[in-house]
Amino acid sequence: MEKFLSDAAEFFPILLQGVGLTILVTLGSLVLSTLLGMIWALMRVSGLRVASMLSAGLINLIRGIPIIVLLFYLYFVMPDFGITLTALQAAILGLGIAYSAYQAENFRAGIEAIDKGQIEAAQAIGMGWWLTMRRVILPQAVRIVLPPYGNIMIMMLKDSSQASTITVAELALQGKLIASSTFKNTSVFTLVALMYLTMSIPLILLVRHFENKGQNR
């Protein structure tokens, strides 16, 4: 135990630099996936057949591609088409696109859970489709999708480690570099796991809060 605490004191400042990039990748991809997911979801429920089919096709395509392959494509293949991204940009874009499909299904489920009578009532008083969505449907849908949205945040935090495959020096890669140079695998990766857990616990508690709040209504 003393050995682990000594190693932790030595490696913690270095790993903390990786934590900053982990958080940056997670937040950046969360914002992107939320925006794209909302667009895909609104296309699905728009009632326009072409938009709905296009959205469904994009969602299925994105869900069928492993995140690591998407990251490799953005970072290693896109330069062949004249588009060069930094490793950090590729990581945020790749994770954001990958998770937009799951966000879209989450948002769509929340929207479709609202009583259709409310839509009919809004339209009866002259509200258009977008106004109905903005003032009637989306505010209620947000409360429904919060618990699964929190779960997606936790998954994204953990999957941010895949950014290490394209040289983003986040927490997982920092741990790997330290372990390979010191051969203290047990201490390093135990510390890495504890740091991921420390970041995840607040999100887990937040999800539980939203779930309990929803059940008490």
Centre a 10 Å sphere on the Cβ of residue 119 and count the other Cβ atoms it contains: 17
189 DSSP assignment:
H
How many domains does the structure of the chain reveal?
A: 1
- List C-alpha distances in Å: 122 to 1, 29, 44, 108: 64, 34, 20, 19
Whole-model pTM: value is 0.87
The domain that holds 66 is classified in CATH as 1.10.3720.10
Which pLDDT tens digits describe the chain residue by residue (217 residues)?
A: 777 888 788 888 889 888 999 999 999 999 999 999 999 999 998 888 999 999 999 999 999 999 999 999 999 999 999 999 999 999 999 999 999 999 999 999 998 888 888 878 887 888 887 888 888 888 888 888 888 898 899 999 999 999 999 988 889 988 988 999 988 889 999 999 999 999 999 888 888 877 776 555 5
Domain that holds residue 125: 2-215
- Whether the Cβ atoms of residue 41 and residue 109 lie closer than 8 Å to each other: no
Task: Please state whether 84 falls in left (phi above 0), alpha (psi between -120 and 50) or beta.
Answer: beta
- Whether the Cβ atoms of residue 87 and residue 164 lie closer than 8 Å to each other: no
